[in-house]
Amino acid sequence: MNRRHFVATAAAISAAFNFARPSRAATHSAEARLRELGIVLPEAPGPAAVYVPFRRTGQLVFIAGQIPPADAGIPTVGKVGAELTVEQGYAAARLVGLRILAQLRNACDGDLDRVVQALQIRGFVNCSADFTAQPAVINGVSELLREVFGNSGLAARAALGTNSLPLNAAVEVESIFEIRQ
């Protein structure tokens, strides 16, 4: 068996195995999963301008663009592909994911177990003009949501590059979730 065929076969088996397993959300609550992961959510930040941090309508929660904290102890400010590496951008995006979860918890009256699924994530990466790895950076958010909500945390997604973001943040992400009433 050549290497290409082996890799394709292994990928197919892996996909089938993962597809057959129940989602993490089906077997664990989101709140219990946060505890298992040792994640303590930060305080949800208030708006930095004239907007609301989230808006609920029916079973949908729209979360305003979140940026990473500038005082996180890791680089979260600057252009990815210039001052920051892809790995640093990913870490900044993961911090944004924590802020999204904090806003979502507030929107769910303190109970993340009301979340049915992530619907959309729109991630913006402050990057150099020649940077093309925006998806790898925004994976920081996507993978966190999958860790917490299982396959229900995977959302339709865009990963976009931009020439600047508020406060020179490396990443900004807005999101939409479906929740139980």
User: Which pLDDT band, with edges at 50, 70 and 90, does 26 fall under?
Assistant: very low
Count up the domains in the chain and report the number: 1
Tell me, yes or no, whether 10 lies in a domain: no
Tell me, yes or no, whether 77 lies in a domain: yes
Tell me, yes or no, whether 170 lies in a domain: yes
Quote the domain boundaries for residue 83. 24-179
pLDDT tens-digit map of 40-56: 999 999 998 999 999 99
**Residue 14 or 163, more confident:** 163
With a CB cutoff of 8 Å and minimum separation 6, the contacts of 133 are: 80, 81, 86
Round to whole Å and give the CA distance between 54 and 77. Answer: 24
What is the CATH number for 171?
3.30.1330.40
| Helix (H) / strand (E) containing 105 | helix 86-107
Residue 109's region, left for phi above 0, alpha for psi from -120 to 50, else beta, is: left
What does pTM read for this prediction? Answer: 0.84
Round to whole Å and give the CA distance between 151 and 41. Answer: 21
Q: Is the pLDDT of residue 22 over 70?
A: no
pLDDT tens-digit map of 52-70: 999 999 999 999 999 999 9
Quote the tokens at residue 54: 């989230």
Tell me, yes or no, whether 103 lies in a domain: yes
pLDDT tens-digit map of 118-155: 999 999 999 999 999 999 999 999 999 999 999 999 99
Tell me, yes or no, whether 160 lies in a domain: yes
Round to whole Å and give the CA distance between 115 and 153. Answer: 9
pLDDT tens-digit map of 70-85: 999 999 999 999 999 9
